[in-house]
Amino acid sequence: MDFTKPWTRIKTGLATGAFGIVLMYFSIPIAPQTIVDFRGYAVLLAVHFGGIYSGFIAAVLIAAARIALFGGPNLSAFIGAANVLFIALAGGLVLRSADKRYWSRWAKMMAVLLVTTGASIFSAIGTTSLPIMPVILGTLAVGGFFIGYMVDYIVRAHQLFLLMKEASHVDFLTGLNNHRTFDRLFNELVQAADRKQEELSLLTLDIDYFKKINDTYGHPAGDAVLQQIGVLLRDSSRRMDEVCRTGGEEFAVLLPDCRREEALHYAEQIRSRVERHSFLLGDGKAIRLTISIGAATFPQVSPDLLIEEADKALYRAKHNGRNQVC
């Protein structure tokens, strides 16, 4: 979820605000018209995930609910409403500070929660709050540590999930789409081309004498070549094109809404650009190399045969002397 988007921040504020209202239904009365609960946690969560704007939305909802639903307008209700608004403001300022360490920021926001809650309780019922203040603040501190730990764990787990999800469809070496993604995109684009009555071209590419590069300069040099080929293919393609690494030194480019003549033109541009490029190896050496490219276009070729026909064209380019487009 992208928390930089305004609508996402609004939804975060509304959700955490509703969560805070629910928490107030489990409040504990400590004096007439005065209650304590964990509503401040909801505001901290809103601030942590959505920033000061989400925190302010959550705080406004909770403050309004405190006044309207839990005892009506009274001094304690107004103090409680001011408390959550101040937590949102101060927590947002902590989040915007230069300190980006998670536990440092969470500890500072918890300190804000404890100080403002303690001050609010004291303002509402005076010195009669002193005997129970350590219990209340201690409970909030322990609960805050537990929530902080759970938030940290969930965020880290989500980040790991996103990395694994990306790794499942991106080639780790070149950053291009991998073979699994190529298969999915191929089916999707063929269906889209058929539905829109458009042409879809496929280029299959293979680096000439790549094994010789690995044998002569080593596999790290071969990896450097593959990475640079990936960059050249991305830079030579249109925004709508899908560039994939489908094997060791094999690549494919899917060209939506592209006639065969245009595909051959793009392929020749790629071939020429690779031929002119100096490929830098890890030891500072530079080498030149070439690629061979095969092309096929739907609907002139059926979807079931499109990959096969592009591969046949690639083999013809190899057989005819390499460094050419067929």
Catalytic residue positions, numbered: 249
- Which of 67, 62, 50 shows the shortest CA–CA distance to 10? 50
| C-beta separation of 199 from 258 below 8 A | yes
> Which residues lie across from 34 on neighbouring strands?
31
Token duo for residue 320: 């005819």
**115 contacts: CB under 8 Å, gap ≥ 6:** none
**How many Cα neighbours within 13 Å face the side chain of 143?**
16
**Distance separating alpha carbons of residues 203 and 244, to the nearest angstrom:** 10
CA distances from 268 to 36, 76, 236 (A): 73, 77, 10
Sole residue written with tokens 């046949």: 312
| Ramachandran assignment for 218, one of left (phi > 0), alpha (psi -120 to 50 degrees), beta (any other) | left
Nearest to 193 by CA among 242, 266, 243: 242
Instruction: Give the closest residue to 48 by CA, choosing from 116, 104, 115.
Output: 104
Residues in a beta bridge with 250: 206
- Listed in sequence order, the residues at least 6 apart from 246 whose beta carbon sits closer than 8 Å to its beta carbon are 178, 179, 182, 204, 252
> What's the DSSP call for residue 70?
S
- Enter the tokens of residue 28: 């504990």
d(CA 315, CA 326): 9
